[in-house]
Structure 1
C-alpha cells in the first residue's frame, strides 16, 4: 500500500504534521480555559468557607404578605397556543398577591395564542392581553416594547406607577414565592436574577440533559461568583426583575438612538444586554439563590429542546446575540472584572473552534493508529516533540477529570446522583451542539452585517412542566448548599 503524497512527503508524514499543529493549538487554549475555570472554582470554594454561606430557606408564610409595590409581568408570545394557557393559569394560581398585572404580548396574526390566553383567564383583572399591530414574528424585544407601551398607558390611565417589571417566557412554570422575593430585592437594587432550573423530560434526554448540567453549574457557581465580585450580571429573560425607574432610564437612553423602547429590537438577546447595561447606568444588580420550606429552588422551571436541531437553533440565537452582537453593541467597557466576565460570555465561537480542532485531532490519531499497525517499524517519525507537549497533555487530562467532577457535583446536588453520573457523559453532546451552533451563528451574523432583517427564531414548545407528574416535586435531593 502506497502512502506517497505530492511534494515528497508521505500521507503519514502529513498526518503527523497535522497532529502536531492541532495538538499545539488545542493545548494552548485548553490550558487557558482550564486556568480560567480553576480561578472561578477557587473563588467559589473561598465563598463556601465564609461563615454563614448557605442557601436561605424562605418559610411558607412569606407569600402571605403584600408586595411593596405593583409589579408588571411581561410575557412575549408567538405561536405559543400549546403552552401559554397553562403558563397563565399556573401564574394566576401560584401568585396569590393582588398587586401585579400579567401582560401577555401577542401578534394580530396569531389568533390561536390569543384564544388560548382568553380561554384561561380572559376575565381575570390581573391579566392584560396586548395585541401587537405588526404582523409577527418581529423580534422578541419588539414585542416586549409593545407591552411596555401598554403598561405606560395603563399607568397614565390609572394614575399608579409600577415598582418593577418581571420578565418570563411563555413556557415557564413559576414558583409561588418568586414575586415576593423579587419585590423585596428591588427595594435595594435595580435588577435581580433568580435561578433557572431546566426540567428533565421523560425518556432519553441526552440533549435536554446537558441544559440541566450547564444551568446547574452556571447558576450555582458562576453566577454566585459573579455576584460576589460585583461584576455585571446578565439577565436570563426569565425570573428576572427590573426596577421601574431603571427601565425608564434605559428607555430614555434608547430614545436617543431612535429606538422604540427599553428593549433593543435589533438584538437577539435583549435580556442579556439589559442586565449588562444596568451597572453602566449606575444601577446595582444581584443574583438570589433561595429555596422554599420544602427545599425547592425558587426560580423558573421549563423544558428545553431535546433534539440536536432544536438545541442548535436555540443556542445559535444565544451565541449570535451574546458573543457576536454583544461585542459590537456593548464593547469592552467597565472594570477589569467586567472585562473578564465579558470574555467568558463571548468565548463561545472560540471554544467551538478549539473543540472542533480537538475532534479532528481524534480522527487524525485514529488514522495514525491504523498506519502504525499497517507499517510497523517502517512508520515515519518526525522530530521528537517538545517535553512541554507531554506535560500539557497530562495537565489537560487532569483538567478534564476535574471539570467532569465539578459538573457531576452540581448536577447531582440538584437532580440526584444518577443525573450527576450522566453529566460527564453528556459533555460530547454539549460540545457537538456548540460547534454546530457556532457555525450557524457566524453565518447568521454575516448575513445581518449584509443587511438581513432579524427575525424571532424562537424555540417551539409543546409540553409544559406544570402538566407533568414530576413538576410539582423536586426531582432530586435538595441539600442546603450552593
Structure 2
C-alpha cells in the first residue's frame, strides 16, 4: 500500500468516528435537554401554584422542635491537620445541642488519633473510635466500626439516636444542618442537602469544574430525579439516615450497615433504601446570612443574603487527584452499580440508572469530538496550503445527515453552556458563570482519563477479588483552630495533676460527657486559674490575670454583636501602644475573632483569662439591665444554641414591654420546648 492508501483509510476511520461521536452526544444531549425542560416547567408551575399557597419556610421555626438525639459519623484515615479543625469547628458552631460526633480512626494512624484526642478533651460530645483492623481498609469498613461503637454507646448511656449523619473529615458543616435534619428525620428515611465546593484561584480549572458540576447537579438534577422517581442518592456527606433506614440496611447486609465491596457505598445505600420503598428527599432550604462589607468610600455596611443550608468543602486542585476521585465515582456508580444493582422492571428507574451509567460512553465521545475537530481542522488547513495532494471528499457536506446531526448538537451544546452558567451563577456569581464555559472542556478531559482509569480499576478488582482499598484524596480545611497539645499532657507537665488522676478523669469524662477541663474544675482537682493558664499554653496565647472594668473598651464592645461576645466569652480591652487586646476564656472560632477585628482600627492580639472574670465584666458592661438569673439564662441558651441569635433583641423587647421574665418571653415566640428547659442550667 502507498502512503495515500493509508491516508484514505485514516480519513474513512475519521468519518465513522465523527458519526459515532455525534450520535452518542446527540442521545446524551436529548436526555439532558429533557431534564432541563422538566426542571423549568416544574419550577414555573410551582411558582404559580405551590408558592402562591405556601409561604417560604422560615428557619427560625427549626428552633421550636424538640431535639432528637443525632449521631454524626466521620471516617478518618491520615487526616492529621484536618480532622481536629473540622470537628472543633462543628462542635463549637452547631445550632444544636443533642448530638454526638463519632470519628473513626485506625490503630496504625497515631497522628490522626492524637488530633482527635485533643478535640475529645475539649468537647463533651466528640468521641474517638478505633477500628479493630489496621488501615487503610475502606470507607465502608470504617463506617461499620463507627456504627458498632455508636450502638455500644447507646447501651452504656441509655440513649437511642434517631438520626445518623454522614460527613467527611474536610467538611465545613452549616450551623443549622442538624436543626434541619431534626425537623425532617422520622418522616423521611434519607435526607440529602446540597454540597458545594469552595472556590480556589480563578485559573484553577480543576477545582472549578467541580464547582460548576455540583452547582448544576445540586441545583437542578437531583430536584428532577426526586420528582420523577423518588430515588435520591446520598452524596456521602450532608446525608441523614433515619433509625429505620439504619436497621433496614443492617438487615439487608446481614449485620453490616454499609456495603464494603463498593467504592461508592453512599450511592448504593440510596438505591437500596429506595428499593425498600423508603422516603428519600433532597432539601434546599435557604437561611439568612448577615455579613459586613465596605463601600467605595471604605465605610462599613451590614448586609443580608439568603444562603442554602449546605455542606462546603475543598475538592482536588490537581489533575491527577481529580482523575483519581472521578475514577472512583465512575467505578462505584457506573460499573459496580451496573454489576451489583443491575436493571429494574420500571422504565422510570431504568431511565435514572441509565443517566448514572451513560458516562462510560459520553466521557469518551466528548473528548473524541475534540480530537476529531482538531484532525479535521488540521486536514483542512493542509489542503489549503498544499497543492500537491490527492483530493478527498469532505467529511461533512452541507445538507447530509452528519451536517444536520452537528447542527442539532451545536444547539444542545449552546443550551448546555447556558444551563451551566445559570446554575453556577446562582451559587458563585457572575465570575463563576463566565469561567464555567472553558471549564466545561477541561472537565471533559478529566472525565475522559477518569473513565479509562475506572475501567482498569474495575477489571483489576474483579480479577483479584480483594477488598477494595480506601483510595482517598488529600484534604484541606478552610479554618484553623490553634490546638498544639492535649490539655491533659499540659496539666501533667505543669504538675497540676498526676497520671493516675488524669486517667481517672478521662474515664469519668467518657461516662459524664463533659470537657476534661470542666470536669476537673467541677471536682475541685484544679482551680479556674490553673485551667485558664493550661488552656493558654494549649492555644499558645498569653494569660492575663486580674482585669478590671476600667480596662474594658466599652465603646468598641458596643460595636460588636453583644450576643456573639456572650456566646464566645469575649471582652475587648482598651488599646495599649496601638495594640487592642481581645480576651477570651479559651479557644475561639476564627470567624468570631475576625468579626471583632473588623470593628477595630488598631492591631489586635488574643489573650486568655478566667471565665468568671469575663462573665462578671460582660454582665456589668453589656447586660446590666438583666437580673443575674436572666443573664445566666441568656448566656446558657446562646451557648447551647436554643434560640436564633437574630431573635434575641425581639425577645428582650417583648420582655420589657410586657414585664415578663426571659424564659416566658422566649416561649411566647415558640422557643424553648420542654427538653431544652431542663438543659438551661445543666
TM-score, normalization by structure 2: 0.65
> Structure 1: how far apart are the matches of 2:423 and 2:444?
19
Which is further off, 313-322 or 198-207? Answer: 198-207
* Distance in 2, Cα, partners of 1:289 & 1:436: 33
> 1:401 aligns to what?
414
Partner SS for 1:450: helix
Q: Note the 1:410-449 alignment, pairs <5 A.
A: 410-449=423-462
1:322 aligns with 2:333: yes
Cα deviation for residue 56 of structure 1 reads 8.1
Matches of 1:264 and 1:101 in 2, distance apart?
23
Aligned counterparts of 2:55 and 2:380: Cα–Cα separation in 1: 54
Q: Structure 1 465/287 Cα, relative in aligned 2: closer, same or farther at 3 Å?
A: farther
* Structure 1 stretches lacking a partner, 5+ long: 474-482
For residue 520 of structure 2, what is the aligned residue in structure 1?
A: none
Counterpart of 2:285 in structure 1 is 290
2:275 is matched with which residue?
A: 280
Q: Give the CA deviation at 1:121.
A: 3.4
Q: Distance in 2 between matches of 1:312 and 1:303?
A: 15
Q: Offset at 1:122?
A: 2.4
Provide Cα deviations, 1:22-69, integer angstroms capped at 9, x if missing partner: 111011111111110110011101111124467986546345445442
- The answer to whether the Cα contact below 8 Å between 1:205 and 1:306 also exists between their aligned partners in 2 is yes
Match of 2:196 in 1: 197
1:336 aligns with 2:347: yes
The 1:238/1:303 distance shift into structure 2, 3 A limit, reads same
Kindly indicate whether the alpha-carbon contact (under 8 Å) linking 1:13 and 1:380 is maintained by their aligned counterparts in 2: no
C-alpha distance after superposition, 1:97-126 (max 9, x if no partner): 221111100001111111112212324221
2:119–2:126: 8 Å Cα contact kept in structure 1?
no
Counterpart Cα distance in 1 of 2:450 and 2:127: 36
| 1:360 equivalent in structure 2 | 371
Query: Which range is displaced more, 362-371 or 283-292?
Result: 362-371
Distance 1:199 1:56 in 2: 31
Distance 2:63 2:279 in 1: 28
Deviation at 1:362, TM superposition (A): 2.2
How far the C-alpha of 1:398 sits from its partner, in A, is 1.2
Secondary structure in structure 1 of the residue aligned to 2:281: strand
Residue 103 to residue 334, structure 1, CA distance change in 2 (3 Å): farther
Distance in 2 of aligned mates of 1:68 and 1:121: 22
CA 1:290–1:390: 2 relative to 1, 3 Å: same
Question: Is contact 1:12-1:368 (8 Å) kept?
Answer: no
Cα offset for 1:466? Answer: 7.0
CA 466–322 in structure 1, closer or farther in 2 if over 3 Å, else same: farther
Answer yes or no: is 1:29 the counterpart of 2:28: no
Conserved? CA contact 2:76–2:169, under 8 Å? yes
d(CA) in 2 for partners of 1:4 and 1:262? Answer: 64
CA distance in 2, matches of 1:437, 1:465: 30
Hey, what's the Cα distance between the residues in 2 that align with 1:293 and 1:212? 22
Q: Are 1:301 and 2:312 matched, yes or no?
A: yes
Match of 2:10 among 12, 15, 36: 15
Say which of 256, 263, 286 aligns to 2:258: 263
SS of aligned partner of 1:315: helix
Give 3-state SS (helix, strand or coil) of 1:369's partner: helix
Q: Is contact 1:268-1:318 (8 Å) kept? A: yes
For CA contacts below 8 A with separation 6 or more, give which structure has more relative contact order: 1
Tell me the equivalent position of 1:237: 236
What TM-score results when the alignment is normalised by the length of structure 1?
A: 0.91
Distance 2:325 2:363 in 1: 16
1:332-357 CA distance string (max 9 Å, x none) = 12532221111111112211221232
The answer to whether the Cα contact below 8 Å between 1:16 and 1:382 also exists between their aligned partners in 2 is: no
- C-alpha spacing 1:402/1:330, structure 2 compared with 1 (3 Å): same
Per the alignment, in what secondary structure is the counterpart of residue 267 of structure 2? helix
The structure having more radius of gyration, on CA atoms, is 2
Pick closer, same or farther for the CA change 1:389–1:398 going to 2, 3 Å: same
Task: Indicate if the aligned counterparts of 2:85 and 2:479 stay in contact, CA closer than 8 A.
Answer: no
Q: 1: distance between equivalents of 2:66 and 2:33? A: 41
Instruction: Trace 1:370-381 onto structure 2 (pairs within 5 A).
Output: 370-376=381-387, 378-381=389-392
Q: Secondary structure of the residue that 1:121 maps to in structure 2?
A: helix
Equivalent position of 2:211 in the other structure: 212
Matched positions, count? 463
Please tell me whether residue 153 in structure 1 is matched to residue 156 in structure 2: no
Cα displacement string for residues 339-390 of structure 1 (whole angstroms, at most 9, x for unaligned residues)? 1111111112211221232133123213312431244485422488571111
Q: Deviations over 1:275-324 (max 9, x none)?
A: 11111112110000111022111010000011100101111111111111
CA distance in 1, matches of 2:313, 2:44: 32
SS of the residue corresponding to residue 464 of structure 2 reads coil
